Structure 1
Amino acid sequence: MKQDQNDSLQRNLSNRHIQLIAIGGCIGTGLFLGSGSTIQLAGPSIVLIYMLIGIVVFLVMRALGEILLSNLNYKSFVDFVSDLLGPFAGFLLGWSYWLCWIAVGIADLVAISGYTHMFYPNLPSWIPALVCIALFYTLNSLTVKLFGEMEFWFAIIKIIAICVLIIVGGIFIAIAFKVPSGEVTSISNVLNDGNILPNGFRGFLAGFQSATFAFIGVELIGTVAAESKDPYKNLPKAINNIPLRIIMFYVLSVIVIMAVIPWHRIDPSQSPFIVLFKFAGLSAAAAVVYVVVMTSAASSTNSGIFSSSRMLYGLASLNKAPRFFMKLSKSSVPVNGLVFSCACLLSAVILLAVGNKSIIDTFISVTSVATIITLFTWFLIVFSYIRYRQKYPERHQTSLFKMPGGVFSCWVCMIFIVLTIFTLTLQSTTRVGLYLGLAWFVSLGIGYILIPQEVKKRWKTLLDMTINKN
């Protein structure tokens, strides 16, 4: 396809697209599937874990929002990290965030294959993954507005599913519903006789990995900001709604789940959303939720393909990736970046075809890589905010969307992020992801050292031209 005369990404996403993409980013496979393993590790303290991470996520997003709106020439957080922390930080973040979404996509494809097995137990697990890659490549290659429409309806389905779960669970609690096994639905199941740390403090800490993965995608708002029609209006609104969404989608849903199913009865290998309806003897409803959970995984994969292709475009525009990735289709889609990202997702097909791990073990191992990169991304965002306050004090003074707590909040977030990274060492499955993540950063560092100085100087010149243009 020939490149369009317009050589830049287009602002074709409306307010409803931005708002629902933001909601979709808050509801992913980490909640629908990963919450089962988190509940098994942390017990009732999962509620506290989600609230703590939610507070930090909100502060990180407020820092991101203030910086992005201070200069609309920043197309993503990679741009302002490069400007505020230097080209090396931008290089690390750009390529790492691309890998993060590839890892998320692989994890979601693994989940989709696992869910498909319920309906077609004899179907080879790699086939659903291959079909999804082909489908999302086709849809993403058309237009960014179509991506927005897909995510809009995906998010609607997820919202309806969670609302139904909360309503049904609430009714069960109100009438003290007796499940077929003889247990009575009660809020006391959540309180666990006052023991909110049944697996001790170590279990509480271990729950942070899968809980953090559940929030991956919230920062996608920063990536789609470049394609929003009215970022001054849409971005603040999307970010400010995050706390309410976290309370509803995470806190309320897990409270309802643990009230219906005692936490120690939850199978970590299955989605607790599905198990809840099975546990209550509603097999037909459980089958419907299976489809919804698959839709959630599909939505997350779709977001990953979108985000990774845009990240490659952004890196190429700064000469930090081959110019090959700057090619746009007639509908202003970075088509070569899209092809490359989808090709990398084919590793999920290989993993499913030759791997011998269970679906949940494979899922946790892959998500650990995404988690370490996400924490690294959040750290650089808040660290950039500190530098932003030093480098551009006048922009902060005139900002209408200031970060609550300013620099102090940034330090709190960074300490929290470092401590969360430490929790990845507590389990063998998450340690693998941590080691792989560290190996990735070392490899990128070596690669950066080998890049000629004249190339790095061109990066700086090009970045200055990009962020300072009228």
Structure 2
Amino acid sequence: MTTRPPLSAADPATTAESPSVGSGLRAGLKNRHLSMIAIGGVIGAGLFVGSGSGIAAAGPGILVSYALVGVLVVLVMRMLGEMAAANPTSGSFSAYADRALGRWAGFTIGWLYWFFWVVVLAVEATAGAKILSGWIPAVPQWGWALIVMIVLTVSNLASVSSYGEFEFWFAGIKVVAIAAFIVLGSLAIFGLLPGSDHPASGFSNLTAHGGFLPHGPGAILTGVLMVVFSFMGSEIVTLAAGESEDPRGAVTKATNSVIWRIAVFYLGSILIVVSLLRWDDPAILKDGSYVAALSSIGIPHAGQIMNAIVLTSVLSCLNSGLYTASRMAFSLGGRNDAPAAFGRTTERGVPRTAILASVVFGFVAVAFNYLWPDTVFQFLLNSSGAIALFVWLVICFSQLRMRRILQREAPEKLTVKMWLFPYLTWAAIALITFVLGYMLTDTADGGGRDQVVLSTAVAAGVVAVALVRGRLGRGRETVTSS
């Protein structure tokens, strides 16, 4: 019979006291890096690019969709914050699942999360390349994708502080852009923006064109499916905290601030869009919701301005995706759930092998996107599409168990606590399960049903590998002991 390791050893990659002790990682992220990673982590390129489709599908009621998903993210982040503040690690929820649910769970969710982010690398590299090739067409689109990937790979290989510095400025630009958009849009809504001929409509557009829910209450759920994945990335700060100067403080601060970050950046900016424009304005789908809103208040070159902001978001997502995938691979290597080389670092505290393995798969996925976009790459997209929800579900179940482990072994580490435990945890589990079930009703090609079915098939395959590995490991232990 095997016993679980003590809490402080849940992930040998890091320790709460010093991420350099016994791990090779170094505390290279400063507090300002962690603060901006936490703020910018919830602002994905999907907010700028994908919100138009959500508005067209749900009308002003898309605000309720964003609010529902926002509440879910707040609850999940609170649960993750409780565990991460007690034991910050480079493996985050994968290490906690390993401890709370079993080796199979940590192995499975760690590899699924890695797979999710390396596919995201290909998506974001292609998106960035499209914008750059539009500005400088002399360089082919695949060339820009290659350049972007190489630059950010070199940055991540240099040191963790290089990643932090890049992300500090990328996230800073996103934050400033959203804040400026909210200020300018608010002034225009009430007719206070100098030089703008936008009518002072106040909030009348929320109800004046078919009502707040022009397609009925069911459209809220459709909107949920369309916006839920734009929130993925808020958990990155809990992985990065393991390489910061003050891991527990960084996690606590990020967890406590997630409510206002979602309220301002998501709900605030979408409220501005649907207040400035009719929800059925053709420009929302044609030009994109934010470009259409900026154009409506007379901002010149709105399209190019937004392209620059979207490019920054894409580069931020690429940068964070490579960092996140490599740290998850590093943690898996440290727990013997991946090749041992993944768990080693250079003298600068960089998990070079884990980074290179992640970026190689990313390069391969980029090639698939250009060679077989409608077959192989579409399969990759669909088979990773529901993994975000799987991750949140595992975080919930892990927290249910980890709370009791912490109370028994180290109650003094419960500096962040989930509200109304365990009721809100079970409520989050129910909501995630409902969303997954509702996705099965989306039968469009490449839609929710394909994503759930293929992601579940991939997850089942990884679980099978984990169980076989566990059984073989127990067999070797039995032979050794005899």
TM-score, L = length of structure 2: 0.86
Contiguous gaps of at least 5 residues in structure 1: 460-470
1:397 CA drift (Å): 4.7
Structure 1 distance, partners of 2:274, 2:342, is 47
Residue range with higher mean Cα deviation, 39-48 or 430-439: 430-439
Residue 316 of structure 2 corresponds to 299
CA contact (8 A) 1:30 1:210 kept: no
- The secondary structure found in structure 2 opposite 1:27 is coil
CA contact (8 A) 1:29 1:297 kept: yes
1:200 CA drift (Å): 2.9
Residue 316 of structure 1 corresponds to 333
Residue 455 of structure 1 corresponds to 473
Structure 2 distance, partners of 1:372, 1:76, is 19
Residue 17 of structure 2 corresponds to none
- The secondary structure found in structure 2 opposite 1:196 is coil
1:430 CA drift (Å): 2.2
Q: Give 1:388's match in structure 2, choosing from 402, 407, 422.
A: 402
Deviation sequence 1:53-90 (CA, Å, 0-9, x none):
11121111111121223335685221111011001111
- Judged with a 3 Å threshold, the aligned counterparts in structure 2 of structure 1 residues 188 and 61 are, in CA distance, closer, same or farther, namely same
1:183 CA drift (Å): 7.4
CA contact (8 A) 2:393 2:429 kept: yes
Contiguous gaps of at least 5 residues in structure 2: 1-19, 478-482
Residue range with higher mean Cα deviation, 93-102 or 324-333: 324-333
- Judged with a 3 Å threshold, the aligned counterparts in structure 2 of structure 1 residues 356 and 66 are, in CA distance, closer, same or farther, namely closer
Residue 144 of structure 2 corresponds to 128
Residue 446 of structure 1 corresponds to 464
CA contact (8 A) 2:35 2:250 kept: yes
Structure 2 distance, partners of 1:202, 1:238, is 33
- Judged with a 3 Å threshold, the aligned counterparts in structure 2 of structure 1 residues 269 and 301 are, in CA distance, closer, same or farther, namely farther
- The secondary structure found in structure 2 opposite 1:167 is helix
1:436 CA drift (Å): 2.4
- For 1:54-453, list aligned pairs within 5 A: 54-72=70-88, 75-120=91-136, 124-175=140-191, 185-193=201-209, 195-265=211-281, 266-268=283-285, 270-355=287-372, 369-394=383-408, 397-398=411-412, 399-424=414-439, 425=442, 427-431=444-448, 432-451=450-469, 453=471
Residue 34 of structure 1 corresponds to 50
Structure 2 distance, partners of 1:84, 1:452, is 16
- Judged with a 3 Å threshold, the aligned counterparts in structure 2 of structure 1 residues 166 and 452 are, in CA distance, closer, same or farther, namely closer
Structure 1 distance, partners of 2:97, 2:77, is 14
Residue range with higher mean Cα deviation, 181-190 or 103-112: 181-190
- Judged with a 3 Å threshold, the aligned counterparts in structure 2 of structure 1 residues 406 and 384 are, in CA distance, closer, same or farther, namely same
The AA in structure 1 aligned to 2:329 is L
1:344 CA drift (Å): 1.3
The AA in structure 2 aligned to 1:409 is L
Structure 1 distance, partners of 2:81, 2:198, is 50
**Match status 1:48 vs 2:46:** no
Structure 1 distance, partners of 2:205, 2:47, is 20
The AA in structure 2 aligned to 1:423 is Y
1:125 CA drift (Å): 2.9
The AA in structure 1 aligned to 2:408 is E
The AA in structure 2 aligned to 1:412 is A
- The secondary structure found in structure 2 opposite 1:264 is coil
Deviation sequence 1:260-292 (CA, Å, 0-9, x none):
222212444654222322344433243122111
- Judged with a 3 Å threshold, the aligned counterparts in structure 2 of structure 1 residues 450 and 169 are, in CA distance, closer, same or farther, namely same
- The secondary structure found in structure 1 opposite 2:337 is coil
- The secondary structure found in structure 2 opposite 1:246 is helix
Pairs aligned (count): 453
CA contact (8 A) 1:206 1:426 kept: no
The AA in structure 2 aligned to 1:206 is T
Structure 2 distance, partners of 1:367, 1:257, is 29
Residue 18 of structure 1 corresponds to 34
CA contact (8 A) 1:177 1:184 kept: no
Give the root-mean-square deviation of aligned CA atoms. 3.0
- Judged with a 3 Å threshold, the aligned counterparts in structure 2 of structure 1 residues 184 and 350 are, in CA distance, closer, same or farther, namely farther
Deviation sequence 1:387-444 (CA, Å, 0-9, x none):
1233342357532211111111100000010111123235433233223212211221
CA contact (8 A) 1:103 1:369 kept: no
